[in-house]
Structure 1
Amino acid sequence: MSSGITVNGLTKRYGAVTAVDRLTFDVEPGKVTGFLGPNGAGKTTTLRMLLGLVTPTEGRALIDGRRYADLSEPRRAVGAVLETTGFHPGRRGRDHLRILALAADIPFSRVEKVLERVGLADAADRRVGGYSLGMRQRLGLASALLGDPNMLVLDEPANGLDPAGMAELRDLLRDLAGEGRTVLMSSHVLSEVAQTVDRVVIVAAGTLRYAGTLTELTSAKTETLEAAFLRLTSNQDTDPASGAAPASAHR
């Protein structure tokens, strides 16, 4: 069973620029957590540090208590989608997944299961170069699910999906969380996030603005997620724990 994600004092500096500044939050198993922030807030950098693609300047990001680099079978522990451009256009969708399965010593039978689960079974023999953006998103999600991981880290998984596709994604993510998995997703589609997540982590300018349940965030001031998001990301003096000013933004 997953013990979730722990981010503690996570910081990344590029010379004089601080992209992520002492972020601290937890992502619980059995729930869908939305990771939100405006462009340039440091979301992707944070996810890349979590997945060992970027080295933190300070702090740590742990998966089930360990760094990603220390996981013995990372594809079976974490399924991640950070972009949907890493596909060979001449390769068929099924073959793309089979190559990943072969590299991770995962049986090909698992390929068929994930194709079915993400709704891509009928297009599995088409070349990826002919896929729409939404279909590439589904293929990326299938890749993330291939190792049957306890944890999913998804960057903008709803990008390019039509309303039916977003509804299917919503149901899938909630089903996965219901199985006890840890699900962390970033998204700019706040209306969809509001229907999908249990908890939210909001960042702006690399700092934490809020971490807690969606219900607590929206009910305290009787506002929508969009209104709360705009309030928190436009006021740099906001307390990250409660949304009230003025308190340190770096707890």
Structure 2
Amino acid sequence: MAMNESNNAWAKGIAFGMEAGTVNVPYPLLVHYRKLRLSDTEAMLLIQLLAFKQAERNDFPSIGQLESRMDMAPGTLAPVIRGLLKEGWISIDEAVDEATGIRSEHYNLSGMYKRLGEWLVAQQPNASGRRTTETDPAPEAQEEQERNLFVIFEKEFARPLSPMECETISGWVDQDRYPEELIRLALKEAVFAGKVHFRYIDRILLEWSRNRVRTAEDVKAYAQRFRGGMR
């Protein structure tokens, strides 16, 4: 009798679990996340984002929801998200509903799949019989550059950066290829003008890019030409 009750409880548990749904997690992420330089918290965060997306149809869970799910203290997960954004594991995309015009954001996990794929390819022997990772250095210099920018911006803004703001800085470095020096100077210009917000800084960088301003000397010369034209 006790055995039947135990079997029934086990069957009910399995049934409940199946009804709750399943989540597809990339096997290399589970097995190799340490070799990919991900912490336990970072790996679990990626898994939770997959869970929200696949099982709950929630593409943009709040930081509070993620912290509650992972049993983390308020404010402790934001730096982890910023790190994954900076490293390219995730990104935040914006979409606009054509019918209503309402803007929405969602986590894009394509970076995770790209990083996993690149790492797996790098483990394959090349023509010399050595793994690619044995000869190709990791882009640590660029990662350190972006990390320094995050610190500088957070100091000027006197608050932690949001995930979207971190994504903007990463975009300036990775996509627009703005030199770090130029980004720091644009921030300085914004502080001097009393307009410390990302849209204003982005406009400065765009204007400088259009006028082929790439160094501190270029900024100084451009400012002199601008002032000369105002006279």
Q: Return the TM-score normalized by structure 1.
A: 0.29
Q: Return the TM-score normalized by structure 2.
A: 0.30
RCO comparison, higher one (Cα < 8 Å, 6+): 1
Larger Rg: 1 or 2?
A: 2
